[in-house]
Structure 1
Amino acid sequence: QEKTRIYRPTLFDVLAHTALNFYTSNENSINRPLNTFEIDDPKILCEAYTSSFLKFSDLKNTSLQAKALGIYQELVAFHFGNPDINPLVMVDIARLLFIHKNAVFTNKDNLLLEVLQNSAENIKHSPLSGLYSYEIAKHYQEIGQAYNPSTSTDHQWKLKQAVDLLDGVIAKFPNTLAEQKCVALKSEIQKPNIQLTTEKYLAKNTAGRI
């Protein structure tokens, strides 16, 4: 646990993250209140500093998502301004990914990228900025893997953009957690991948076409 202590340095961190493990679990989503809470406001998907001042009118809602948002906000506020930004960056990234995953507004993908880019720029001289860049590259990977040249040329170069971004982090911040994560993601992206498509229905004693 020594490696994780820098990201959860206090008892409050440990207890808060334990609660988050429960509130953010999909297995607990069946316990929904009558007044369902939804992340439907794009303003919620924002940078750490701004998130500390957000007012959630529905935060008293018993929804697990609402409770999770409240804890994320408390953690960000708790660590904001501390010289050691390790705990802040880690919880901020977790907060952003949680909001993006559960948000119901339409422009959440573009907004996530914008916030990640701004967050990385704000601490560009710190190796921790590479963790934001890693998440951007991961998002590019997801978009690039969905690229289909037969339907659209959009996102044709997203995988290349991801690798270029990862290379930048690897070169700039060697021997860091960001470098380790970026090396692993780059290897995953560049791993040979062959997809085979066969006919869905075949007549008996008929050879299928690939």
Structure 2
Amino acid sequence: MDLSLVFSQGDGILIAVFLSLLLMSISSWWLILTRSLHLFQTKRQNRQFNDAFWQATDLHSAAQLIQGQEAPLARVAQSGLDSLNRHQAQATRTLGQHCSLDEFLVRNIRMSLARETGRLEHGMTWLATVGATAPFVGLFGTVWGIYHALVGIAGAGQLSIAAVAGPIGEALVATAAGLAAAIPAVVAYNAFLRANRVIAQDLDGFAHDLHAQLLSAEKA
């Protein structure tokens, strides 16, 4: 089956359908590859930073470890340490008087967790969109291609199987193209969703431990 016939003999709508599916597929695979690499690096960086952070002798040493780190755990730790320093600097002012250290740390660490979760979800919406819409885009291309082919055949007055099979077969490729774009996107979306959930659980656990550590350091 020669797909070049779709672009040489198909009308503008059918060509637009195939180009849309091609763009969906290329963008999905680009996201799949880049997000896979990013998740791999994130897990490795988190594991390395978590081990180094809890082996630090004090908060000052831990703060030095954060410098230059790209791990999400490092940004959460930085947020917690900054919150502790900011609260201590303003303890005699309105902020310190109206908000305890516990509440201040919880609020700022929670905001940091929300930012990191948002970073993890980058590209997920597009993968979900491709997975949900690509089959229907392909189906629309098939329906339109069959209609266009039947109109052309009727105008030519040819009713043989050979005259019908070719154009309709080319139109049916749109459905296959839609599935080819949608299936990898759906599989990747589910895989990334699970990976993000695992990382989010690690972030949440680290945040709880960090919160307890900062409170105990303040009381010491």
* TM-score, normalization by structure 1: 0.29
Of the two, which has the highest radius of gyration?
2
Task: Give TM-score scaled by structure 2 length.
Answer: 0.28
The structure in which a higher percent of residues are helix is 2
